[in-house]
Amino acid sequence: MIIEKVFEADEMTLIRPRAAWTRNEILNTQGIFYLKNITEHLAIDSVQIKKRALALRKKGKSSYQVMGVKKVWNHWMVRMKIFAPYYRRYLKPKFNEVGADWNCKTLLSKKDTFLLSAVCKLVPYQDHQFRYKAKKGEADLGIWKDKQLGLFLVDMKQFSKWMEDKGQ
């Protein structure tokens, strides 16, 4: 008797990420995720992922085999074993993660780019205040909206200078 393998072991587990999981924890977890549950953690735009998957299908390629994404009924599913290398190669965001053990002083000493919502968890301001200032064009903040990601980013080198001068 020949037994066919229909699913791989990692395809048998549907995982829902916890709010505290980091980008690397999600990418290193083997299993199936709903696309909608990982977009915020991985800072990806679900619309762009769906467009890439549909473009692959139009070319006659399997989006599930190439990038680990497919639509099942009304849900977009992600097989992390295949998606993680694709993400690291093509989709890695333009910003770094804020360390879980960092405080405001540690964050302000960094010279990298970070996500505004993560920065605002450590500074005495709310992100809507900075989004408003960035939309008004206050360039000295070091905050801007990345058109491709649709997210607000912070250049800490410039932002820390602003915090020293005007912020406190």
Q: What are the residue ranges spanned by the domains of the chain?
A: 9-91, 104-167
Give the pLDDT confidence of 35-82 residue by residue, as tens digits. Answer: 999 998 888 889 999 999 999 999 999 999 999 999 999 999 999 999
- Block mean pLDDT (10 aa), the chain, length 168: 72 89 91 93 89 95 95 94 94 81 88 88 86 79 82 89 74
Tell whether pTM > 0.85.
no
Give CA–CA dist 160/66, Å, rounded: 41
What was the pLDDT predicted at 20? 84
Which three-class secondary structure state does DSSP give residue 121?
A: coil
Which three-class secondary structure state does DSSP give residue 34?
A: strand
Q: How many CB atoms lie within 10 A of CB 69?
A: 22
Question: Alpha helix (H) ranges present in the chain?
Answer: 23-27, 35-42, 46-58, 63-66, 80-86, 104-108, 116-119, 127-136, 156-162
- CA dihedral (28, 149, 132, 113) positive or negative: positive
